Structure 1
Amino acid sequence: MEIAGVIAALLFSLLLMRSVWLQVIQYDHYHALAESNRISLVPAPPARGVIYDRQGEVLAQNFSAYTLEITPAKAGKLETTINQLSQVV
């Protein structure tokens, strides 16, 4: 039974060391990866074309639409952020 306890303690200490390595020592690296992962470009699919009926009347037409999402916790002052975005959009 002593060997099982030693093996369990060894495995637990390895797990603890790996956790400290990833969360404390490698913090800056993974923090930078997380920050760069927060903003992503999602390509818009191409237009599918206009749909006509048999008389040539347009039944459905395509238009481009964009979506902007703001994370309130990261935006700071919401009113200031909206004013700054209104100049760009």
Structure 2
Amino acid sequence: NGASRFGRLRQTLAGVSEKMLTQTLRTLERDGLVRRTVYPEVPPHVEYELTALGQTLREPLKALTEWSVVHIEEVITARGEYDDRAERTR
């Protein structure tokens, strides 16, 4: 909701490296999903915000997140079964 600075995004997305977050934000900006605003201060103040196009992804991503929460145990079980089969064929 609203604009966020890089540091706040990094805290919110714990486990994502700085390099990957930077690359992803650049890609999202290029795709027109994120707006990057630089304020001429020392040190530079940069904010990221969803564009109108980016806002259209909120509901589909919410649905995907909800699906993931409901089905995570099935996914974990499937991964284990796959890994067991892969181990037996080595």
Interval containing the TM-score (normalised by the shorter chain)? 0.3 to 0.5
Greater relative contact order (Cα 8 A, min sep 6): structure 1 or 2?
Answer: 2
Please give the TM-score of this superposition, normalised by the length of structure 1: 0.33
The structure whose Rg is larger is 1
Please give the TM-score of this superposition, normalised by the length of structure 2: 0.33
More strand by share: 2
